[in-house]
Amino acid sequence: MPTYISGFELAKRAGVKKAIAAAVDGVALDLSGVFPEDSPAEFITADHPLALEIVRHTTSHIMAQAVKELWPETKVAIGPVIENGFYYDFLLDHQITPADFEKIEGKMRGIMAADLKILREVLPKESAVRMFADMSEFFKVELMENLDAAEVSVYRHEDQFVDLCRGPHLPKTGMASRHFKIMKVAGAYWRGDSKREMLQRLYATSWFTKEDLENHLHNLEEAEKRDHRRIAREMDLFHMQEEAVGSVFWHPKGWVMYNALRDYIRKCIQKDGYVEVCTPQMIDKSLWEASGHWDKYRENMFIAESEDRVLAIKPMNCPGAIQIFKQGVKSYRDLPLRMAEFGCCHRNESSGSLYGVMRLRGFTQDDAHIFCTPEQINGETKKFCRLLTKIYKDLGFESFSVKFSDRPEKRTGSDEIWDLAEDLLQKATVESGLEFSINKGEGAFYGPKLEFVLKDKLNRDWQCGTLQVDFQMPEKLGAVYTGEDGERRHPIMIHRAVLGSLERFIGILLENYAGRVPLWLSPVQILFATITNDHDDYATKIYHEFIRHGLRAELDLRSEKISYKIRAGILEKIPIVAVVGAKEVQDNSLSLRYLDGSQEILSAKDALETLMVKCQPPQA
């Protein structure tokens, strides 16, 4: 019979002096828990990937304690870790403002200085419900009433604070990092329901070192400067308004950029063996019922009625692609069939979750569906990974990470089918030479998927590309082909996208490049600006020559100082301003000023030839 000892003792025996938690099979656990003496526990120290999450979660509880000590009537809701920090939701009469942040932070430092022991208790759910009910913590009571569990865990900061939590936490409040900062306060409905209580949400961040905190704050300042909505206004790309919530009004310059990106993707996929299709925007609910979307996705679909029929505006393109596949007789010789669509989709996202072009209700996917045999999954996955790697590199992203998302709790299909799909996709990913992490339970309801995550110049992650293996929808919707043995079989469908959504990817590009996008994507590639109106004729002649050769040019003949015109071009992120004065007219030349501050003088002929090369999109 195994002997159990505490995590503290286990760490001591292993000679790990600065452990803050332990991990068994990748799951983080408190050191106060007990482990078998021969446990294969991995000890979590500051350099472990899970360490900062544990520190931040403990700090969120410290923040909750601080708020309750300052305003005792406070009711606490939830306080999870999020990317780069954490938040906690509170209900209290006092309206928290930024002027309160320093006071809350001071109280938090006092709690850390007290070095309170953090104790975990496992209680019968009924006992915990009574305890929190006696404290009038009704949010905690509601959370537990919705839990299908006989026991729950709570964490105490000695006798000063108690909270419902799964953990894990640091052993003491004094082990939390002092390098933290409360960032903002916002409103949030309890459980996201606009009919429930409006809570006050405090957002904060925490890091191991002062340098890391300062770098994060610097990146936030830089991110604000790079906000794609601000840049879009400066460059006159698009706008959004209340009459069309979650949709984009593309201006001429923004539509130029949109089409340049789409045309580049189109050339890449055509070269890679795709055919392009287009499917209807509104489809009868019977098709969505047959595909499984009506049951799994109904709340996110926009519905319309006509002539006693219920129609749905498509939230995704896959059922439509299958209808095209079903037209005519298909043979194994026709596979793989790569069917691409720049499909406009609409999803009923809550208004509170919308954010510029990063989160929309109406958007266009660079979608494709590959119909293939099980034996072709490997080759098609590797082929797609090569295409995606090339496109990301062309767009300025040299590296990306990959997440493998396996079966979710709510899914269709047998475990045998899921076993096969996950095994085939994982094997293909390994053979593609891509390292990946497991994203447990985050697959689509019909199959496992890969998620491709870009990292931008501010070190932020953006999940963009996806690949999903689907054994089920073609069968549900009656797609068949004739196998080599003459038998009728259902094809496998691979759903895949590189950018994810064109609108969102343009937002990512604008923020990554701070608006200074590659020359081939720029809505205006060169601005001709005259020093005086005496030079207008020459500038106009050269401008028309550039336009005739397919370059995107603008002409500024306003009676303004040349410095004003140059500043206007810089604000609009125009890559090149060609200054035209008396010397340029005399020499038949152009004085070129680039956004990076460099300058050069070229003959008009050389400038045209140089730009015609530089403005070309990457080769497909």
Active-site position among 68, 369, 535, 573: 369
Give the count of domains, the chain: 4
Point out which residues pair with 589 in neighbouring strands.
Answer: 603
Query: Which ranges of 450-524 would DSSP assign to H, the alpha helix?
Result: 473-476, 502-512
pLDDT of residue 29: 80
Active-site position among 365, 376, 468, 525: 365
Residues in CB range of 169: below 8 A, 6 or more apart:
30, 54, 57, 58, 61, 118, 120, 155
User: Which of 280, 297, 299, 278 has its CA nearest to residue 289?
Assistant: 297
**Is there a catalytic annotation at residue 537?**
no
Long-range contacts of 541-549 (CB under 8 A, 24+ apart): 542/578, 542/580, 542/590, 542/604, 545/604, 545/608, 546/608, 546/611, 549/608, 549/612
pLDDT of residue 24: 76
Active-site position among 169, 338, 347, 496: 347
Tokens 């501010």 identify what position? 458
Confidence of residue 13 (pLDDT cuts 50, 70, 90): confident
Q: Which of 73-82, 113-122, 437-446, 556-565 has the lowest mean pLDDT?
A: 437-446
pLDDT of residue 292: 87
pLDDT of residue 2: 65
Please check whether residues 565 and 540 belong to one and the same domain.
yes
Please check whether residues 220 and 275 belong to one and the same domain.
no
Predicted confidence (pLDDT) per residue in 289-301, tens digit:
999 889 888 999 9
Predicted confidence (pLDDT) per residue in 109-161, tens digit:
999 999 999 999 999 999 999 999 999 999 999 999 988 889 999 999 999 99
Q: Which of 13-17, 65-69, 276-280, 519-523 has the lowest mean pLDDT?
A: 13-17
pLDDT of residue 104: 98
Q: What share of the chain is helix, strand, coil (3-state, %, to 5)?
A: 40, 30, 35
Where does a domain end: 512, 543, 572?
Answer: 512
Predicted confidence (pLDDT) per residue in 235-248, tens digit:
999 999 999 999 99
pLDDT score of 399 more than 90: no
Predicted confidence (pLDDT) per residue in 34-50, tens digit:
777 677 778 888 888 88
Query: Which ranges of 5-100 would DSSP assign to H, the alpha helix?
Result: 7-13, 51-70
| Residue bearing the bigger pLDDT, 412 or 376 | 376
**Is there a catalytic annotation at residue 369?**
yes
d(CA 65, CA 334): 65
pLDDT of residue 7: 77
pLDDT score of 370 more than 90: yes
Please check whether residues 602 and 587 belong to one and the same domain.
yes
Whether 290 maps to a domain, the answer reads no
Please check whether residues 131 and 200 belong to one and the same domain.
yes
Please check whether residues 269 and 166 belong to one and the same domain.
no
d(CA 172, CA 111): 10
Active-site position among 30, 367, 470, 556: 367
Q: Confirm if 302 and 313 have CB atoms less than 8 A apart.
A: yes
pLDDT score of 22 more than 90: no
**Which residues span the domain enclosing 473?**
251-281+315-512
Whether 497 maps to a domain, the answer reads yes
Whether 238 maps to a domain, the answer reads no
**Is there a catalytic annotation at residue 228?**
no
Active-site position among 157, 330, 449, 535: 449
3-class state of residue 440 by DSSP: coil
Phi, psi of 308 (to 5 degrees): 65, 20
Where does a domain end: 468, 490, 512?
Answer: 512
d(CA 465, CA 332): 28
pLDDT of residue 1: 60
Active-site position among 318, 345, 372, 464: 318
**Is there a catalytic annotation at residue 216?**
no
Averaged pLDDT, 321-349: 97
Please check whether residues 179 and 30 belong to one and the same domain.
no
Please check whether residues 186 and 327 belong to one and the same domain.
no
Residue type, 16: V
Averaged pLDDT, 170-190: 95
Active-site position among 169, 293, 383, 495: 495
The DSSP code for 126 is: H
Please check whether residues 407 and 492 belong to one and the same domain.
yes
Please check whether residues 556 and 438 belong to one and the same domain.
no
Please check whether residues 546 and 401 belong to one and the same domain.
no
**Is there a catalytic annotation at residue 490?**
no
Whether 208 maps to a domain, the answer reads yes
The CATH number assigned to the domain holding 602 equals: 3.40.50.800
CA 72 to chain CA centroid, nearest Å: 38
**Is there a catalytic annotation at residue 596?**
no
Predicted confidence (pLDDT) per residue in 182-211, tens digit:
999 999 999 988 889 999 999 999 999 999
Whether 304 maps to a domain, the answer reads no
Q: Confirm if 228 and 239 have CB atoms less than 8 A apart.
A: no
Please check whether residues 505 and 531 belong to one and the same domain.
no
Whether 305 maps to a domain, the answer reads no
Whether 183 maps to a domain, the answer reads yes
pLDDT of residue 64: 97
3-class state of residue 479 by DSSP: coil
Please check whether residues 70 and 199 belong to one and the same domain.
yes
**Is there a catalytic annotation at residue 544?**
no
Strands (E), 208-328: 238-239, 249-250, 274-276, 282-284, 302-306, 309-313
The CATH number assigned to the domain holding 409 equals: 3.30.930.10
pLDDT score of 59 more than 90: yes
Averaged pLDDT, 326-330: 96
Q: Confirm if 78 and 144 have CB atoms less than 8 A apart.
A: no
Whether 429 maps to a domain, the answer reads yes
The CATH number assigned to the domain holding 83 equals: 3.30.980.10
pLDDT score of 76 more than 80: yes
Where does a domain end: 224, 242, 260?
Answer: 224
Averaged pLDDT, 546-561: 96
Mean pLDDT of the chain: 93
